[in-house]
Amino acid sequence: MAASLFADVPFRAKIIGGAIIVVPLATLALLGAIFLRPAPIEQRLVWGCYTADNAPPISVEESKIRIVDGTRRSLSYIAEPCKEGYRLTVHPALILKASEGGRYSFEQGRGIGYFWPLLSEASDNPRKVHSPEDFGGRIDIAAEGRSAIYVRSKDGNNCG
């Protein structure tokens, strides 16, 4: 019969030893949940007219994203923190598809919506946006295996 490793250890010592391990780990988990939570992002930080090469402009407004291609389509969205950076969660699922001539257009996709990562001014990596202040007026929208980087225009003329 095999003897247990802690068979000769008093019960009180087992409780103290377990507390020495569990209490610091629980404290770290609680502090991480409190202090490592990303700051919320205000919707107004992303408002504006965005353009990308060979793709229709989009206008991010207070309550919707309007696609400026003559179709009068719009998307609802939420600007929110995510595991790595910040994103726009958009509904319904419209994706950028390449058409003949290399131009892109928004078409209905599968699913209930998509996530568009927010980018800093100097990087195409969404992980570089650690706080709302790091947002550089750029949005990454997946387009058939590639990305279309939408950049907020300074004058807003393309969104009419």
pLDDT in tens, 3-27: 677 778 888 988 998 899 999 999 9
Q: How many of the other CB atoms lie within 10 Å of CB of 79?
A: 21
- Same domain, residue pair 26 and 66: no
Domain that includes residue 136, residue range: 43-159
Read off the pLDDT band of 1 (50, 70, 90).
very low
- Same domain, residue pair 90 and 73: yes
- Same domain, residue pair 148 and 84: yes
- Same domain, residue pair 49 and 33: no
pTM for this structure?
Answer: 0.74
State the total domains in the chain.
2
3-state secondary structure (DSSP) of residue 150: strand
Read off the tokens for 54. Answer: 């060979």
pLDDT digits (tens, 9 = 90+) for 40-93: 888 899 999 999 988 899 999 998 999 988 888 888 999 999 888 899 999 888
* CA 72 – CA 69 distance, rounded (Å): 7
pLDDT over 70 (residue 112)? yes
